[in-house]
Structure 1
Amino acid sequence: MEDKELEQLFKELKGRFDVARPIEGHTERFEARLQGRATHQGLDQGRKWSWKWAAVAAVLVGVGLGLYLQGTGVQDPRQGALSPEIQRTQFHFAGLVQEQVTAIRQKSSPATERMIADVLQQLEHLEADYAHLEQELVQGGNSKLLLRAMITNYQTRLALLQDVLERMEMVNQIKTMHHEDPIL
């Protein structure tokens, strides 16, 4: 936009701007709440980053495992069960998922019960998909593709659980804010 167009726009909008002043003390109360949330968000950020790093580490383990299997010529894990590397990765991811489920159950409230039931149902579907992928891998399917799909399945579970945790915290915060006494 040119200067003339901007000036014209401001002339047209003159008198339409919100110029009301907030109630006395509003700024102090707002800043106090921001300070309180900043401390809580700092803790939450640490948790978010830790699981993200864990997910990155698991992906790197999976990629390394894929390269290892390709380099050794072992592409068919039908020789009994899954390789120890796959089992360790599976154990790691399962631990992360269980940790998130435990956190969700600990933070449950009547307002979030339906949300928890929905996520647990979605997790069951993802677990069934994972079992199918695992069976295909044991039967000698394309190991690279299946391993990538298995890791993606676990990452999807973790992302889903993290999203539900964040939504539950928002619901609980909103509920807490509605039950606080207003300061006038």
Structure 2
Amino acid sequence: MKCSLLFACFAVILVLSLKPSNALKKMEVNLGQSQMLKCDMSYHHEINWIRMDDQAKPKTLMVMGLKNDGAMSVAWNFNDSHFEGCVVDRFIGLRIYQVSESDLATYFCAASHNKRMEFGEGIRLQTPEKLTQHGQDEGLFSSSGEKFHSHVIIAVALSCGMLLMVVTLIGVHIKTQKRQI
């Protein structure tokens, strides 16, 4: 029984210590200025830049790659007066000219190779005001402030299950000891 209680405590501590994925990086931007995003995927593949905001479905902004001679090749650009492909530190990047409110979203780059897409780290563009309003670490709440992170829900469910199991074991132990007397 002590082993079960110890296991339950260990499981609760383990699950509560989990943190949300760091697959999303926050970047501070100033409205009206240009901003460059760097893709952490290999430039040997075709790169897709995708924007996701809270109200709309994901949108492909640009498809690009490098030619054999190292020159940038843009296969498609949603708005070539606002977005430009570039090379940054041997990685393919996306330059956004004059960042506006509609650009405050999450951006992903994805490398397509042999009919397969692999996504890079997400970058969330936010103004300094929004960063201080939400904080760098949002704690238990999502950016909307409405939902718990999934690891907290899992921890609560596991804790309740373990508690129920321990109470049941104690009850069975007490009943069997009374019968033996």
- Report the TM-score range of the alignment, normalised by the length of the smaller protein: 0.3 to 0.5
Structure with bigger strand share is 2
